[in-house]
Structure 1
Amino acid sequence: MITLILYSKPDCHLCEGLQEKIEKIQASSQTLGEFQLEIRDITTREDWFQTYQYEIPVLFKSSDIDNIEQRIPRPSPRMSVTQLEQVLHKYW
């Protein structure tokens, strides 16, 4: 199973927008198949906060096979759901 990991924090509008788009893809994607979305609140761990405080939202892909987190370049907030799905497809 593939997991998308979204590092975010409360009241981050960019994070919320990306999360909503990913959830739409998760609910309807034919090309990506099933995947899990894990939201990691950077305010809950000091190491996450220090690493990502100026970069959120940050997106990673991980799979059960290799358990390695691969960073996905941050998509533009103006990107449509369809465009985001195409970007994610490159990392599948």
Structure 2
Amino acid sequence: MRLILYSKPGCHLCEGLQEKLEQIQNFSFEFEVRDITTREDWFAAYEYEVPVLYLSNHRGAEDAEGSEKLLPRPSPRASVQQLEQMLRKYLAN
């Protein structure tokens, strides 16, 4: 499993979510942060939406974008444990 976080520099919500995701230790997953300012299509899609979190079962990079599943944005107040529970819920489906 792989989590993809669409983010941009200076986004405090993005940084907070990234920090929490990096603290999850009870199950393993690959984690990739994609800076939306590096590609026009990402910027156009997510400029006003970041942070955006996707779940992918593929291990390749951009070649698997079509198979990514959008996850609901967690509350900025969610704890690491709450974030982990949310991820487990979507992994089970």
Bin the TM-score by the shorter chain. 0.7 to 0.9
Instruction: Return the alpha-carbon distance in structure 2 between the equivalents of residues 63 and 22 of structure 1.
Output: 17
- Structure 1: stretches of 5+ with no match in the other structure: none
Q: What is the percent sequence identity of the aligned residues? A: 64
Aligned 1:51-90 pairs, distance under 5 A: 51-64=45-58, 67=64, 68-90=67-89
Q: AA paired with 2:45?
A: T
Indicate the residue corresponding to 2:8 in structure 1. Answer: 9
Indicate the residue corresponding to 1:46 in structure 2. Answer: 40
Instruction: Return the alpha-carbon distance in structure 1 between the equivalents of residues 70 and 88 of structure 2.
Output: 14
- Structure 2: stretches of 5+ with no match in the other structure: none
Q: CA deviation at 1:64?
A: 2.6
**Deviation string for 1:15-54 (max 9, x for gaps)?**
00000000001xx21xxx2211100000000000000000
Q: Secondary structure at the match of 2:76?
A: coil
Instruction: Return the alpha-carbon distance in structure 1 between the equivalents of residues 22 and 57 of structure 2.
Output: 18
Instruction: Return the alpha-carbon distance in structure 2 between the equivalents of residues 71 and 89 of structure 1.
Output: 15
Q: CA deviation at 1:4?
A: 0.1
Question: Is 1:34 the equivalent of 2:28?
Answer: yes
Q: How many residues align?
A: 85
Instruction: Return the alpha-carbon distance in structure 2 between the equivalents of residues 3 and 42 of structure 1.
Output: 18
Q: AA paired with 1:48?
A: W
Q: Secondary structure at the match of 1:38?
A: strand
Report the TM-score when normalising by structure 2. 0.87
Report the TM-score when normalising by structure 1. 0.88
Q: CA deviation at 1:57?
A: 0.1
**Aligned-pair Cα RMSD in Å:** 1.2
Q: Secondary structure at the match of 1:4?
A: strand
